[in-house]
Amino acid sequence: MRARPVARVYVLAALAASWAVVACRGADTASTSEMKAAIAALEKERDALRFRIGEGMAKDARIAGMPTTGVRVGVPTDLARELTTRVITGFVDQVTLKLANITVHKSGSLKKIVTIGEYEIDVRIEDVTAKLETGAPTMRFGGDRIGLDLPVRVKSGTGSAVIDFRWDGKNISGAVCGDMEIQETVAGQVRPDEYPVAGALHLAATSQRILASPRFPEVKINIKVQPSAASWAAVQGILDSQEGLCGWVVDKVDILGLLRKVMDRGFDVRLPTEKIKPVAVPVGIAPTMTVRDHEVTVAVKVGQLAITDHMIWLGADVALGDVVGAEAAPGEKAKAGDPGGGTAAGTAKDTGAWRRGQ
Amino acid sequence: MAQASGWIAAGLALAIPGMGCWGQKGGGELHARRVVLEREVEGLREVVRRLDRGEPILPPHDVVVGVSDATVQDMLAPQLPLEVEASGFAVTMNEAELSFLGAPGITLRGSIHPVDHPDLVGEVKAIGTLDDIDVDPGSGTLRARVMIDHLDLVRIAGLEWFVSSGTTDELARSLRHAFERQIPQIQIPVRIEQAIDFPSVTEGPVRLQGARMPLAVGVSDVFAGSGMLWIGLRVEPGEIAKQGPSPPEPGLARREGGRR
pLDDT at B66: 94
Whether the CB of B241 is below 8 Å from some CB of chain A: the reply is no
Sign of CA dihedral B156, B161, B167, B173: negative
Which of B65, B160, B206, B236 to mutate: most A Cβ within 10 Å?
B206
Q: Where are the beta strands (DSSP E) in chain B?
A: 63-68, 82-86, 89-101, 103-114, 122-135, 141-155, 186-192, 195-198, 211-225, 228-237, 241-242, 253-255
Residues 6+ apart with CB under 8 A from A52: B48, B51
For residue B254, give the nearest of A6, A79, A104 by CB distance. A104
Residue B141 at interface with chain A, using a CB cutoff of 8 Å: yes
On the question of a cis peptide bond just before residue B81, with omega within 30 degrees of 0, the verdict is yes
A-contacting residues in B 196-235 (Cβ below 8 Å)? 196-199, 201, 203-209, 211, 213, 215, 217, 225, 228, 233, 235
Arithmetic mean of pLDDT, A332-357:
36
User: CB of A140 within 8 A of CB of A147?
Assistant: yes
Phi, psi of B67 (to 5 degrees): -135, 135
Please give the DSSP secondary-structure letter assigned to residue A69.
S
Chain A residues lying within 8 Å of B250, measured CB to CB: 98-100
Out of A53-57, A92-96, B54-58, B191-195, pick the least confident. Answer: A92-96
Q: Which residues of A touch B204 (CB under 8 A)?
A: 272, 275
Q: Does B196 contact A282 at a Cβ distance shorter than 8 Å?
A: yes
Chain B nearest CA to A232, separation (Å): 22
Determine the Cα–Cα distance for residues A269 and A154; give it in Å rounded to an integer. Answer: 12
- pLDDT value, residue A9: 44
* Chain B environment of A277 (Cβ under 8 Å): 199
Give the nearest chain B residue to A290 (CA atoms): B187
Please tell me which of the candidates A45, A83, A101 has its beta carbon nearest to residue B251. Answer: A101
Q: Which residue has the higher pLDDT, B81 or A30?
A: B81
How do the pLDDT tens digits run along chain B, 260 residues long?
A: 444 444 434 333 333 333 333 444 456 677 778 888 888 888 889 889 988 998 888 788 899 999 999 999 998 888 888 888 887 888 999 999 999 988 899 999 999 888 888 888 888 888 888 988 999 888 888 999 888 878 877 766 666 556 665 566 677 778 878 877 777 788 888 888 888 887 777 665 566 777 888 989 999 988 888 899 999 999 998 888 877 655 554 444 444 443 33
- Give A176's pLDDT tier (boundaries 50, 70, 90): low
Inter-chain contacts counted by CB atoms under 8 A, chains A and B: 285
Ramachandran assignment for A143, one of left (phi > 0), alpha (psi -120 to 50 degrees), beta (any other): left
Q: 3-state class of B162 per DSSP?
A: coil
B246–chain A nearest CA distance, Å: 11
What confidence tier does A8 reach under pLDDT thresholds 50, 70, 90?
A: low
Please give the backbone phi and psi of residue A8, each rounded to the nearest 5 degrees, phi first: -60, -40
- pTM more than 0.95: no
Mutate which: B1, B164, B215, B256, vs A, most A CBs within 10 A: B256
Q: Please tell me the distance from the alpha carbon of residue B161 to that of residue A280, in angstroms, as a whole number.
A: 62
Structure confidence at residue A329 (pLDDT): 44
Taking the CB of residue A141, how many other CB atoms lie within 10 A of it?
18
User: Which of residues 4 through 33 in chain B touch A, CB cutoff 8 A?
Assistant: 5-7, 9-10, 12-14, 16-17, 20-21, 24, 26-27, 30-31, 33
Q: Helix B2-23 vs helix A3-59: angle between axes, to the nearest 10 degrees?
A: 10
C-alpha triplet B116, B120, B126: angle, nearest 5° = 95
Contact indicator for A312, A77 with CB cutoff of 8 Å: yes
pLDDT of residue A20 exceeding 90, the answer is no
What's the rounded Cα separation, in Å, for the pair A13 and A26? Answer: 20
User: B118: distance to nearest CA of chain A, Å?
Assistant: 25
The CB-side HSE value for B240 (13 A sphere, CA atoms) comes to: 21
As a whole number, mean pLDDT of residues A58-66 equals: 82
A199/A152 Cα distance (integer angstroms): 12
Assess whether pLDDT exceeds 70 at residue A192. Answer: yes
**Helix B27-52, helix A3-59: angle, nearest 10:** 30
pLDDT for B61 equals: 87
Q: Pairing relation of β-strands A114-134 and A96-99? A: antiparallel
Nearest residue in B to A82, CA atom = B237
CA B148 to chain centre: 10
The angle at the Cα of B109, spanning B104 to B114, to the nearest 5 degrees, equals: 135
Q: What does the alpha-carbon distance between residue B26 and residue A121 come to, in Å, rounded to a whole number?
A: 100
Mean pLDDT check: name the lowest of A37-46, A220-229, B107-116.
A220-229
Q: Among all residues of chain A, which has the CA nearest to that of B4?
A: A6
* A7-11, A78-82, B33-37, B166-170, range with greatest mean pLDDT: A78-82
Q: Tell whether the model's pLDDT for residue A343 goes beyond 80.
A: no
The ipTM value here is 0.77
Per-residue model confidence (pLDDT) at position A35: 85
Instruction: Give the pLDDT confidence score for residue A30 in this predicted structure.
Output: 54
B53 CB within 8 Å of a chain A CB = no
* CB-based contact B237 A83, cutoff 8 Å: yes
